[in-house]
Amino acid sequence: MPSSLSESRESQPRASAPHDRPVQLLDPSGRRVPHAPYDDYVADVSGDQLASLYEDLVIVRRLDVEATALQRQGELGLWPPLLGQEAAQVGSARVLRPDDFVFSSYRENAVAYCRGVKLTEMLNVWRGTALSGWNPYEVGMATPAIVIGTQALHAMGYAVGAKLDGEDSVAVAYFGDGATTQGDVNEAMVFAASFRAPVIFFCQNNQWAISEPVTLQAQRPIADRAPGFGIPSVRVDGNDVLAVMAVMRRAVEQAREGGGPTFIEAITYRMGPHTTSDDPSRYVDPLEREEWAGRDPLARVEAHLREAGGLDDALAASIARRADEAAAEFRAGCTEQVDPPPLTMFDHVYAEPHRGVDEQRRQFGEYLESFEEGVN
């Protein structure tokens, strides 16, 4: 081999080694640790509220596990598990108002849950019965963007629109660590800064882009990029629902007040495979996974609540029951979904009549009928 390019790359320091201490309010053992000025942003999050967040975390994990099972049973074509990223998604999404708007990737199903997406509608894409499940305008959330990074620009554009309309709503772009390499995400930062758009860039750095470690994409903490574009940024323990909520509230407040964009890097970990098609044993060191298992986003909230008296066995059992109910609803909503009638594939290609597609639909309809009539 002519040189040791690949070795030099692999020996570089992991970007996830914290640059400055990421915001953390609940440590892995569930202890509340202070971190100014973020404590103030969650001063109101009392026992009940935290229990409610905990319920969210339990439910979204339960749903995620159910979806993986549905895929294994052949009911879904594919599923991208969010296992391990529950706190990052719930903590951020719960901050938003109904009139805010989310643009996400495929993995933000807990965000969709918090936005009020119907459980069944979350599954159409993965069952293959439709290209998307819900009406974005009903829940303030676009359906998933699969082409990596594209949605960052959409969020920025939406935010500029909100500003033009004189509203104080914000837009949020969710994307992964891998996405930060894409030109689109970088252009979104340039434009957001140029227009002082009320947009939050919420990056879930789950350490992996399929099989590629974040070190391939970034030689510095990802959050360090934004300031160069003129965008303040913050790193947060993405497995700490309280800390995520705090940094998100601060960013959203600034955006609503005309302060422009913020970039949030939520440091978390993808505990499962990239999707149900993936085999992480080919590239993940089991020790790394184990290390992260010790920082579980649910465990620490549970420990904290139990300690503070906000959670007893009865409440835990009732939460578990609600999660099971949700999972059952999820499953039913999945298996009930039938294949769409053939000719509906021609629907909505255009909003207005279109000579070409209309003719092809008619012809294909006649063709299908010819079988029924026994002409063939």
Partner 1 sequence: MAEMTLAKALNASLRRSLAHDDRVLIMGEDIGTLGGVFRVTDGLKAEFGGDRVMDMPLAESGILGMAVGLAFKGFRPVVEIQFDGFIYPAFDQIVTQVAKLHYRTRGNVRMPITIRVPFGGGIGAVEHHSESPEAYFAHTAGLRVVTCSTPQDAHTLLQQAIWCDDPVLFFEPKRRYWTKGEVDEDALDRDDVLPMGSARVVVPGSDVTLVTYGPLVATAIDAAAAAAAGSGGGDADTVSIEVIDLRSLAPVDVDTVVASVAKTGRLVIAHEAQRTGGIGADLAAELTDRCFYHLEAAPQRVTGFDIPYPASRHEEHFLPDLDRILDAVDRTMGRRPALYAGAVL
Ligand X SMILES: Cc1ncc(C[n+]2csc(CCOP(=O)(O)OP(=O)(O)O)c2C)c(N)n1
Residues engaged in binding its own copies (CB under 8 A): 2-3, 5, 8-9, 12, 160, 163-166, 180-184, 186-187, 190, 193-196, 216-220, 224-230, 258
Instruction: Indicate the residue among 179 and 327 with the shorter CB distance to its own copies.
Output: 179
Positions touching ligand X (CB under 6 A) are 107, 146-148, 175-179, 206, 208-210, 270, 274
Minimum gap (Å) between residue 233 Cβ and ligand X: 17
Residue placing its CB nearer to its own copies in the complex, 13 or 37:
13
Q: Within 13 Å of residue 23, how many CA atoms lie on the same side as its CB?
A: 26
Is position 283 annotated as part of the catalytic site? Answer: yes
Is the distance from CB of 100 to CB of 310 less than 8 angstroms?
A: no
Q: Which amino acid is at 333?
A: G
Would you call the peptide bond into 37 cis, given omega within 30 degrees of 0 as the criterion? Answer: yes
Q: Is 300 a catalytic residue?
A: no
* 212 interface partner picked from Mg ion, its own copies, partner 1, none, CB below 5 to 8 A per type: partner 1
Q: Catalytic annotation on 106?
A: no
How far is C-alpha 218 from the geometric centre of its chain's CA atoms?
Answer: 20
358 within 8 A of 350, measured Cβ to Cβ: no
For Mg ion, which residue of 176, 198, 273, 297 counts as binding (CB under 5 A)?
A: 176
Q: Please tell me whether residue 206 binds Mg ion under the rule CB under 5 A.
A: yes
Residue 126 to residue 67: CA distance in whole angstroms: 9
Which is catalytic among the residues 72, 283, 321, 362? 283
Residue 24, contacted partner among partner 1, Mg ion, its own copies, none, CB below 5-8 A by kind:
none
- Binding flag, residue 345, partner 1 (CB under 8 A): yes
196 binds, among Mg ion, partner 1, its own copies, none (CB under 5 to 8 A by kind): its own copies
The residues, any chain, with a CB within 8 Å of residue 152's CB and separated by 6 or more, are 103, 173, 175, 179, 184, 185, 188, 201
Residue 282 binding: pick among partner 1, its own copies, ligand X, none (C-beta 5-8 Å cut-off by kind) = partner 1
What minimum distance in Å lies between the beta carbon of 84 and Mg ion?
11
Name the catalytic one among 270, 295, 300, 361.
270
Write phi, then psi, for 289 (nearest 5 degrees): -65, -40
Q: How far is Cα 232 from Cα 234, in angstroms, rounded to an integer? A: 7
177 contributes a contact to Mg ion by CB under 5 A: yes
Subset of 268-327 contacting partner 1 (CB under 8 A): 277, 282-283
Among positions 82-141, residues that touch partner 1 (CB under 8 A) are 101, 103, 106, 124-132, 135-137
Residue 107 binds which one of Mg ion, ligand X, partner 1, none, with CB within 5 to 8 A depending on kind?
A: ligand X
Distance CA 30, CA 263 (A): 26
Question: Any idea which residues carry the catalytic annotation?
Answer: 270, 274, 283
